[in-house]
Structure 1
Amino acid sequence: MPESPHSPALSDQLLAAARAIRAVLGGQSLSEALESSPAALRPAAQALSFHAMRRLGHARAVRERLVPRRPPERLVEALILLGLSLLEASLRQAEGADQPPGTPIYTAHTLVHQLVEAAAADRRTRPAKNLINAVLRRYGRERAALNAALADTPEAVWNHPGWWIDTVRTAWPDDWQTILTAADQAPPMALRANVRRIDRDTLQTRLNAAGLDARPAGADGLILGTPRPVRNIPGYTEGWWSVQDLSAQQAARLLPLQDGMRVLDACAAPGGKTAHLLERHTLRLTALDSDAQRLGRVGENLQRLGLESPDVCLRCADAARPGDWWDGQPYEAILADVPCTASGVVRRHPDIRWLRRADDLARTAESQAGIVDALWPLLAPGGHLLYATCSIFPQEGEWQIAAFLDRHPEARRMPAPGHILPGNPDDGDGFYFALLRKPA
Structure 2
Amino acid sequence: MPGAEVRVLAAGVLQDVCANGRSLKAVLGPAQQQLDDSRDRALLEAICLAALRQRGRYRRALNQWMPRPLGARDADLEALLLAGFAQLDALGLPDHAAVSATVQAAHQMGRSHQAGMVNALLRRVQREGVPPASPLNAFPHWLADAIATDWPRLADSIFAASLAEPPLWLRVHAGKSTPEAYLQQLQQAGIVAERVAELRDAICLPAAVPVTQLPGFAEGVVSVQDGSAQQLADLLTDLPAGARVLDACAAPGGKAAHLLERQPQLAVLALDIDQRRARRMQETFARTGVQATVLAADACQPQAWWDGQLFDAVVLDAPCSATGIIRRQPDVLLHRREQDMAALIDLQERLLEATWTLLRPGGRLIYATCSILRSENTGQVSAFLQRHADARFVDPGEAFGHACPAGRQWLPGEDGRDGFFYAQINKINS
Question: For this structure pair, what is the TM-score category when the shorter chain's length is used for normalisation?
Answer: 0.7 to 0.9
User: What is the identity, as a one-letter code, of the residue corresponding to 1:117?
Assistant: Q
Is it true that 1:271 corresponds to 2:261 in the alignment? no
Q: Take 1:415 and 1:372, find their aligned partners in 2: how far apart are those partners? A: 18
Query: Is the alpha carbon distance of 1:209 and 1:44 closer, same or farther for their aligned partners in structure 2, counting shifts above 3 Å?
Result: closer
Supply the AA of the counterpart residue of 2:346: E
Contact 1:212 1:225 in 2 (8 A): no
Matched, 1:381 2:339: no
The answer to whether 1:432 aligns with 2:421 is yes
Q: Secondary structure at the match of 1:329?
A: coil
- Most deviating of 273-282 and 194-203: 194-203
Report if the CA contact (8 A) 1:269-1:295 is conserved.
Answer: yes
Which amino acid in 2 is paired with 1:203?
A: Y
* Residue 302 (structure 1) shift: 1.5
2:44 aligns with: 45
Aligned with 2:141 (options 145, 153, 162): 162
Determine which of 201, 217, 242 is the counterpart of 1:260: 242
One-letter code aligned to 1:272: G
Q: Which residue of 2 aligns with 1:230?
A: 211
Aligned to 1:356: 336
Indicate the SS of the match to 2:315: strand
Instruction: Please say if 1:347 is aligned against 2:327.
Output: yes
Shift of 1:378: 0.8
Partner in structure 2 of residue 304 of structure 1: 287
SS in 2 for 1:212: coil
Contact 2:42–2:209 at 8 Å: present in 1 too? no
Match of 2:104 in 1: 117
Find 1:30's aligned residue among 24, 48, 54.
24
User: Is the 1:365–1:396 contact (alpha carbons within 8 Å) kept by the matching residues of 2?
Assistant: yes
Is the contact between residue 359 and residue 427 of structure 2 (CA under 8 Å) also seen in structure 1?
yes
1:335, distance to aligned residue in structure 2 (A): 0.3
SS at the partner of 2:395? strand
Cα deviation, 1:275-311, whole Å, max 9, x if unaligned, reads 1111222112111111111111211222222212xxx
Equivalent of residue 423 in structure 1, options 389, 397, 413:
413
Residue identity in the other structure for 2:354: A
Q: Does 1:104 align with 2:121?
A: no
Q: Which moved more, 1:394-403 or 1:352-361?
A: 352-361
Match in the other structure for 1:93: none
Alignment check: 8 A CA contact 1:71 1:77 kept: no
Farther-moved stretch of structure 1 (220-229 vs 327-336): 220-229
Aligned to 2:404: none
Alignment-mate amino acid for residue 209 of structure 1: Q
- How far the C-alpha of 1:214 sits from its partner, in A, is 3.1
Q: State how far apart, in whole Å, the 1-side matches of 2:201 and 2:85 are.
A: 41
Is 1:184 aligned with 2:163? yes
Rate the CA distance shift 1:302–1:11 in 2: closer, same or farther, 3 A.
closer
**Quick check: 1:345–1:430 contact (8 Å CA) kept in 2?**
yes
Amino acid at match of 1:35: G
What pairs with 1:79-90 in structure 2 (closer than 5 Å)?
79-86=80-87, 89=89
What TM-score do you get using the length of structure 2 for normalisation? 0.86
- Give the C-alpha shift of residue 386 in structure 1: 0.2
Distance change >3 Å, CA 10–CA 161, structure 1 → 2? farther
Q: Secondary structure at the match of 1:373?
A: helix
SS in 1 for 2:416: coil
Equivalents in 1 of 2:187, 2:181: separation in Å? 10
Tell me the alpha carbon deviations over residues 63-113 of structure 1, each in whole angstroms, 9 at most, x when there is no partner: 4454346332421221233344556x2xxxxxxxxxx6xx13344x87566
- C-alpha distance after superposition, 1:193-239 (max 9, x if no partner): 21122233222233333433332211111113442222222122332
8 A Cα contact 1:207 1:213, kept in partner: yes
Deviation at 1:411, TM superposition (A): 0.8
> CA–CA distance in 1 between the matches of 2:165 and 2:270?
31
Deviates more, 1:286-295 or 1:193-202: 193-202
CA contact (8 A) 1:263 1:285 kept: yes
Distance, in Å, in 2 between the alignment partners of 1:421 and 1:286 is: 30
* Aligned partners of 1:64 and 1:70 also within 8 Å: no
Distance 1:296 1:264 in 2: 17
Could you say which residue in structure 1 is the equivalent of 2:77? Answer: 76
Q: Which amino acid aligns with 2:421?
A: Y
In 1, the alpha carbon distance for the partners of 2:48 and 2:120 equals 22
Unmatched tracts of structure 2, length 5 or more: 401-407
Alpha-carbon distance, 1:128 to partner = 4.5
Q: State yes or no: 1:221 paired with 2:202.
A: yes
Distance 1:293 1:136 in 2: 40
Structure 1 residues not aligned, in runs of 5+:
1-7, 90-99
Superposed displacement of residue 245, structure 1: 0.8
Alignment CA distance shift 1:181-1:326 (3 Å): same
> What is the distance in 2 between the residues matched to 1:147 and 1:225?
26
Does residue 319 (structure 1) correspond to residue 309 (structure 2)? The answer is no
Which deviates the most, 370-379 or 25-34? 25-34
Q: Which of 357, 365, 370 lines up with 2:350 in the alignment?
A: 370
